[in-house]
Structures are given as C-alpha cells and as structure tokens.
Amino acid sequence: MTVSPNEYLVAPPAPSTRTSKQARNRRGVLTPISMPPIRSSLVDLAAARLRQGISEGRWKRELPSEAELCREMHISRVTLRRALAQLIREEWLTPGGRGSHHRIRKRPKQQKKTTGHIVRVLSPYPLSAVGSIPQTMFNIAAERLGSVGYRFEFEHRPSVFNRWLPEELERLTGLPDTAAWLLLCATEQMQRWFAGQSIPCMLSGRAVDGAPLSSIFADQQAVGRHAAGLFYQRGHRELAYFIAEFTSVDDRLCAEAFVQEAQRLGARAKIITHTGNASSVRAALNQLRCRDPRPTGFFSRSPEHCVTILCHLQSIGVHVPEHASIIAGWDDQFLQYTVPEITRYRVDGAKIGCKAATILLDLIRHGSGKLRTVPVVPVFVSGETLGPVALSQKWA
C-alpha cells in the first residue's frame, strides 16, 4: 500500500462509548435498545432461496436456466448472477460453461438450527479491557440485534485461548439459549474448530486460510505497510515492532507486512516480542539501548504498550518526536490525552458494529449463508509522535 499521509483524513471524534444501564449490566450482558429493523438485500434473499431449493432436493444435478430462475423468483439477471456467484464461492455450485447450467455439488454440511436468543462473545480479555472501539462495536451490535429479540453475553474465557482445549469449547457451545457466536482474537485452532462444528459463528478479526467463517476486520496489513512507509519518509531506517507473545492473527499479519515493507524500502525492522505487561515492554526497551544501531521508529498495535513506550523513552531522556517516533496501529479514546498525542490509526466502532449485526442476523436466520469478508480500512490520525529523525541525536 503506497499511500501518502495526505490521502488520509483525520476521522471525526469517535462516538461516545458510555452505555446506559439498559445497554450493559454488571455481568457483562449487553441488552437491547430500540433500533430500526435489519433488512436483507435482494441478492441475499435470492441466495437463500437457492440454498433452500438445493437442500430440499428440488434440483438434483443442475439448476434450471438463468431465464427460468429469474422468472420464478421475479428478479433481474444481474441479481441472480450475484446470488449464483455467492453460492459458487461457498462451494454449493460448480459454474457451467457458456450455454451450460450450473451443476450442484455435494450438499454442504448444514448448520444446526438455532432457536436461541443469545449471541455470545468469546474473548481472552474481560469486557473492561478490550478497549473503547470494540466496546462501541459490541454496544451497537447489541442494540441492533436487540431490536429483533436477541441479546449479547460476554464470555471471558482466557483458558481456551492460552492452550488448546477442545473439550472446553464443546462445553461452551452447549450453553443453553445460544443463537450464535462472535469470536474475538480467535486462534487458528479455534477458528478451524468452529468452522467444522456447523455452529453460527463469525470473527471479529481476519480468518485464517481454510477456515470458512464470516469476518469483519480492520485491514492491519495495510496499516503495517503504511506505517513503515511513514517512518521511512521521515528518515527512520532502524525500526522496532513491539508484539506480545499472545496476540491475534491480525497483529502477526501486520508485523509481517511492516517488516516486508521496511525491507523493500531499504530500512531495517526488528520484531520485539514481550509477554504483554508494561514491565516486559520496558525491559525490551532497555535491551534495545544496548544495541547499535538503536531504533528510532517504534510501532505497536496495542495503545497501552505505545503509552508505555512513550513514557519510558521520555523517562530516560529520549524526547518524542525529536529523538524517536511512535505510531500506534490501533486507537483508544485515552490516546488523545497523551502529551505528545500519539500518532495512530482509527476505525469507526459504530460502523463495524452495524455490519457485524447484519452478518450475525444472517447467520442466525439462514445458517452459514453468505460467507462475508468485510475489511475496514483504518484512518490515519497524525498526532504528535511522528517526526523526522534527528541524525545528530542518539538516545542514551
């Protein structure tokens, strides 16, 4: 992604994440607030009718002609072809050649019918620690789904993320009144397990290859490339990417993109691994002081870790951005109160919540339905911690 910083606009102030007692109770249950109903598109409805016809055995080996299907469903050929393309991606159909009908593949494994009313959010972190943007996402999704009779419950289960426990996942997915699952920071093993269980489920984050799950995610690979380019433009040639040992698929992809882009431009980027707490970040920074050359550009997707980096550098006499620069790959409301204000990338949690609610409702009503992959491009917020490298200055 070769993008000038001027091509990004600073986003408007993030919507308030304060929630009323009606929106969230002390148990982490997000409850409904009246919102407009969620409607399906004509393409989605056409795809659902085609899936239903195939599942019921109405058509055996191939579909009727496009003209017949258009007449039967009272839709245009453009709408039908979009619905057919979706079923081909989902491997319900094999496309026919010119003049040939689409062939029906072996019927996919169907998701279990759900009669529950709870959408469960599975997370390695407590609700209070996920940050303002995910909280906004959950609140908006809860409001929209609440308008049609569903509610959110937050399942903080760090044990199933720290080590592979399929028996615990079996127990969790057997919880009563469950309509669907929303996975936060799901590991590769977890994604593949849920994909094979025929359970209505979507990801907040990127899906790994071979895990056919709907997902919505910030395009962190684009962020990694763009951030590396910003550092390079300002003369930084020694870069450090701070990443926790336990982290998300998105963070690892961002790190790979950051390092690759830095190398392509002619800079050197090192991935600095730590255990995730402030003391381990400070210890890693102290180790970097002993290296030569020392990095002058610091990046982390964790807003909290960026604050630790900023405070520690300032405490040892390294002035930001005069001697070193910092970019956060993710935003949180508290970053606007740091001095200097940390440069970062922001996404609109409310918009993500609306899109997530639409996908979840489709999963609940129609099963696996359309596999949706919804990337969201973050907006660059310039802040005050990115500046030109001072070649005459060295941090001691």
Domains contained in the chain, CATH given: 42-104 (1.10.10.10), 111-219+350-377 (3.40.50.2300), 220-347 (3.40.50.2300)
Query: Closest by alpha carbon to 21, among 29, 11, 12?
Result: 29
Given CA atoms 352, 219, 332, 274 in this order, what sign does their dihedral have?
positive
In this prediction the pTM is 0.75
- Per-residue pLDDT tens over the stretch 265-280: 999 999 999 999 999 9
User: What per-residue confidence (pLDDT) applies to 328?
Assistant: 98
Contact of 394 with 316, CB cutoff 8 Å: no
User: What per-residue confidence (pLDDT) applies to 368?
Assistant: 65
Q: And the tokens for 16? A: 């308030």
**How far apart are the C-alpha atoms of 73 and 140, rounded to whole Å?**
34
Beta partners for residue 373, in sequence order: 215
Contact of 183 with 173, CB cutoff 8 Å: no
Query: Closest by alpha carbon to 227, among 52, 137, 388, 344?
Result: 344
User: What per-residue confidence (pLDDT) applies to 37?
Assistant: 42
- Per-residue pLDDT tens over the stretch 74-128: 999 999 988 888 788 777 888 876 667 888 886 555 555 567 999 999 999 999 8
Q: Is the pLDDT of residue 10 over 50?
A: no
User: What per-residue confidence (pLDDT) applies to 114?
Assistant: 63
Contact of 270 with 239, CB cutoff 8 Å: yes
**Strand 214-218 and strand 201-204: pairing?**
parallel
**How far apart are the C-alpha atoms of 66 and 79, rounded to whole Å?**
11
**How far apart are the C-alpha atoms of 70 and 104, rounded to whole Å?**
18
Residue 83's identity, in one-letter code, is: A
- Per-residue pLDDT tens over the stretch 47-80: 888 888 887 788 888 899 999 999 999 999 999 9
Residue 55's identity, in one-letter code, is: S
Q: Is the pLDDT of residue 331 over 60?
A: yes
DSSP code of residue 24? B
